[in-house]
Amino acid sequence: ELKVEQNPLFLSMQEGKNYTIYCNYSTTSDRLYWYRQDPGKSLESLFVLLSNGAVKQEGRLMASLDTKARLSTLHITAAVHDLSATYFCAGSNTDKLIFGTGTRLQVFP
Amino acid sequence: GAGVSQSPSNKVTEKGKDVELRCDPISGHTALYWYRQSLGQGLEFLIYFQGNSAPDKSGLPSDRFSAERTGGSVSTLTIQRTQQEDSAVYLCASSLQGWNTEAFFGQGTRLTVV
């Protein structure tokens, strides 16, 4: 059964700094998703990564996928307060969509 | 509608009562999912509907939980004899063709059992 783990669970970072959130998964995943959740809100889709070596960027966020290492990363460049949220990765195979525990990101001045 | 719609947005119920949560998926989406998110936690898979196939109920935590999807569109999640541990946000999502297509989430129903 597919299991997805994220780290760190909580990240407090200063504006302007860079950091990476890691997402490991246990078995083959057909694709990897990243979602953002603001407090009290639902999940917003950020990236869909389809194949090994895939890299996608949107603003200050860049996601990558290494299927051999079963690892996806979400890199934050020059963080700003608006990025404060909880970020989830999720993997899927023919069974179901499984979410990681989430990384709560807090960006402070 | 333009997105996944859930109702009610908030529900407070007494322990032991039954509740029904509704989800209207994006028009044309054949797959529909229910998840549960407890306070500060991740998303727990509950049930998955895909077209006319038998639903994947493997995530339902007990036989007090059931769900149906009528006409391949609207879905209702029913919790019978609610318990305090059922308190959570229940999220519904839909996707065009199933697990390998992007899932879009509704705003959720916040259930509080008192």
* Tens-place pLDDT, residues B42-88: 899 999 999 888 899 999 999 999 999 988 799 999 999 999 999 99
pLDDT tens digits for range A51-100: 888 999 999 999 999 999 999 999 999 999 999 999 999 998 765 788 99
As beta bridge partners, residue B75 has: B23, B69
Nearest residue in chain B measured CA to CA from A103: B42
Contact B112/A at CB under 8 A:
no
Please give the backbone phi and psi of residue A81, each rounded to the nearest 5 degrees, phi first.
-60, -35
Query: Which residue of chain A is at minimal alpha-carbon distance from B31?
Result: A96
Q: In chain A, which among 39-78 make CB contacts under 8 A with chain B? A: 41-45, 48
Of B65 and A50, more confident? B65
Report chain B residues whose CB lies below 8 A from the CB of A88: 42-43
CB A55 within 8 A of CB A62: yes
What pLDDT was estimated at residue A28? 78
Side chain identity at A61, as an amino acid letter? L
Looking at residue B72, what is its pLDDT? Answer: 78
Separation in Å, CA of B107 to nearest CA in chain A: 5
In whole angstroms, what separates CA B76 from the centre of its chain?
Answer: 7
Q: What is the mean pLDDT of residues A15-42?
A: 91
Query: B70: number of CA atoms within 13 Å, CB side?
Result: 6
pLDDT confidence bin for B11, thresholds 50/70/90:
very high
In total, chain B counts a number of residues equal to: 114
DSSP string, A4-45: EEEE-SEEEEETT--EEEEEEESS--SEEEEEEE-TTS-EEE
Please tell me the predicted confidence (pLDDT) of residue A51.
Answer: 83
Residue B1 has pLDDT above 60, yes or no: no
Kindly state whether A33 is in contact with chain B, defined as any CB-CB distance less than 8 angstroms: yes
> CA-to-CA distance for B59 and B70, rounded, in angstroms?
20
Sequence-distant (6+) residues with CB within 8 A of B36 are B43, B44, B46, B61, B88, B89, B90, B91
Could you read off the pLDDT of B91-102 as tens digits, one per residue? 999 999 877 788
Distance from CA of B106 to the nearest CA of A (A): 6
B107, A42: Cβ pair inside 8 Å? yes
DSSP per residue, A61-91: EEEEEETTTTEEEEEE-S--GGG-EEEEEEE
- Give me the residue from B48, B99, B102 closest to A48, CB to CB: B102
Instruction: Please tell me the predicted confidence (pLDDT) of residue A73.
Output: 97
Which residues on chain B are in Cβ contact (under 8 Å) with A33?
102-103
| DSSP string for residues in B12-58 | EE-TT--EEEEEEPPTT--EEEEEEE-TT--EEEEEEEETTSPPB-T
Average confidence score pLDDT of chain A: 92
